[in-house]
Structure 1
């Protein structure tokens, strides 16, 4: 069993625990309390529990923290079973369209039985469909009990349907499960548009007939794109941990790394690959070949911007617990929020959107105050 180092900084406790689960049974109880708070805030308590269980160490954990870890494992198992059931329901709903059900993110990890699924906690199912079939998909889902939020405004409906890469979330009326229907990786208003047809054509089958997931390189690139172009990072460390797990798993195949570089260039996601590999290497010590890092760095920003982006990712992609915050974390999150919206739409459209949302918010405030 590994020994606990004399000093692990509070800010690095959770990444250290995920990387060195063999040392955790010897962790003092006060440190366990902090570790569990951090893991829960990051949505990683299930993954932490699974890594201990996989090594036969869960029973060696002190009783009080072990109870929390066992509860996280039970929750993860229940959610995974729900995802498998939901995949069957979705497959049945879309069967008349002769479309394979292509799952994304956490649901894909579960159905593909990837290490990234182990202990993974999540709340919805993401699917990818062709834009040309989007209306048919929505009709079929509605016919099988999924509905849009009745309180969604007409403006937000327009925002999703005219500009974004997905429909508004749909919730099943009996099971209360949520599905996010995507037709692309990036919004229609973004400057770059990775070809969805290429992603769907390369999708691979799972053990559940009629259900597919993205090819390995595409799965990694989607995870990086979703994380690094997002406007909020409450699950930033969890999503980076997903990427770390995917890279460690797929990277065991020798031809994966050249294929990842080539696919990033083909889909115009080379900058996302550079940032993703660099962050995973720096923050989680993900093993990435030097040749791959050099190849990805061809899409790096200029020498003045790279240190700034490193500083921003170092603050955003860490455990969100207050004990782990670095100085200027609030400023970093705000800058990345602005960056995400700037990448999402042109400046003029962004200003109009911000003005419209502000007016709608102020219009709704008096009504909400009177309830």
Structure 2
């Protein structure tokens, strides 16, 4: 399949000098829809002075937003540390905030909407209480059923939002739902976490574990609006961590320990196929042990769905591919009986007037 213009430019920024006005218009639109405009701006930053003024205004604005988010995230991390450290809780930052505060290349131009934290399940109630006392609260519009859904079946409590700053926070006790078909060795996630040198009391996952968590997140996600952004995250992590030969030797064994061999296979398959990420052949061979039996179907879906949600990237099978992966994500999340009851309940509630649905 032909790569979108956005992917071509992110992989080869030198092409920017050859773009026509219509190319620039398409590129900016694709980048916005994929939530990759700040990453694109970061890639093109060295040559912005030589590029057309119109698109450069969009790119400079994206750089400002990314820089503002960097400052805001560091402030938020200090606030989280102040709320949880007195309780003896040492949370692990996940995904975008972790990339940023660990100063990884994956954070360059990486925009995200919330901060994700991981704490042991035994500390989840204390962490929740500490965060609520420090100003975070739950969404009033979340139904009682949805609150129970999070607490009984999910890997996180209901989303939190700060009452003054409006910052969003997801508090996890593991990385995939306990009801999921893949059973994560949650205790192992904490074994090799690394404390941030300039933010004592806050941790990030070790490189191999961080990559595997990012892979699990992407390939269990049903709504892939940010799928291409997350695929570029995986590419950046592999290129960065892969400079250390020990990363490659630890990758497949660590996936076995964590129970994430299938996400590892899928992450390596689609980063190499779609982005040309360099991966040693021996690592690909090790990961191939978890090759799914429905791989041709997954290829047909992911190679369409891991693209910007933009008309220029859509073909006749794009919408069915996205729907199929949405259904797959639910099938991975819950046993069939529980999933059927959950979906039936949600469908029934949607048919009720708002007041009656909340009472139900």
TM-score by length of 2: 0.96
Q: Does 1:306 align with 2:295?
A: yes
Please state how far the C-alpha of 1:77 moved relative to its aligned partner: 0.6
Q: Show the counterpart of 1:239.
A: 230
State the superposition RMSD in angstroms: 1.5
Matched position secondary structure for 1:179: strand
| Match for residue 39 of structure 1 among 31, 37, 51 | 31
Q: Show the counterpart of 2:49.
A: 59
Q: Show the counterpart of 1:5.
A: none
Please state how far the C-alpha of 1:111 moved relative to its aligned partner: 0.3
Please state how far the C-alpha of 1:101 moved relative to its aligned partner: 2.6
Matched position secondary structure for 2:155: coil
Q: Does 1:197 align with 2:184?
A: no
Residue deviations 1:89-108, cap 9 Å, x none? 00000012212231000000
Q: What is the total number of aligned residue pairs between the two structures?
A: 356
Distance across 1 between alignment mates of 2:11 and 2:17:
14
Matched position secondary structure for 1:341: helix
Distance across 2 between alignment mates of 1:166 and 1:81:
26
Conservation of the 8 A alpha-carbon contact between 2:89 and 2:123? no
- Runs of 4 or more consecutive aligned structure 1 residues displaced over 4 Å after TM superposition: 365-368
Q: Show the counterpart of 2:159.
A: 169
Q: Show the counterpart of 1:90.
A: 80
Matched position secondary structure for 1:198: helix
Q: Show the counterpart of 2:13.
A: 21
Please state how far the C-alpha of 1:365 moved relative to its aligned partner: 5.8
Q: Show the counterpart of 1:3.
A: none
Conservation of the 8 A alpha-carbon contact between 1:25 and 1:62? no
Q: Show the counterpart of 1:324.
A: 313
Where structure 2 has 5 or more consecutive residues not aligned to the other structure, the ranges are none
Q: 1:241 to 1:331 in 2, by over 3 A?
A: same
Please state how far the C-alpha of 1:52 moved relative to its aligned partner: 1.5
Matches within 5 A, 1:1-371: 11-53=3-45, 56-206=46-196, 207-302=198-293, 305-364=294-353
Conservation of the 8 A alpha-carbon contact between 2:186 and 2:258? no
Distance across 1 between alignment mates of 2:292 and 2:134:
47
Where structure 1 has 5 or more consecutive residues not aligned to the other structure, the ranges are 1-7
Please state how far the C-alpha of 1:274 moved relative to its aligned partner: 0.4
| Segment drifting more, 248-257 vs 192-201 | 192-201
Residue deviations 1:13-39, cap 9 Å, x none? 111100111221232121011001001
TM-score by length of 1: 0.93
Matched position secondary structure for 2:350: helix
Conservation of the 8 A alpha-carbon contact between 1:250 and 1:256? yes
Distance across 2 between alignment mates of 1:110 and 1:160:
27
Distance across 2 between alignment mates of 1:29 and 1:211:
46
Distance across 1 between alignment mates of 2:200 and 2:49:
37
Conservation of the 8 A alpha-carbon contact between 1:47 and 1:120? yes
Distance across 2 between alignment mates of 1:133 and 1:366:
34
Please state how far the C-alpha of 1:366 moved relative to its aligned partner: 8.6
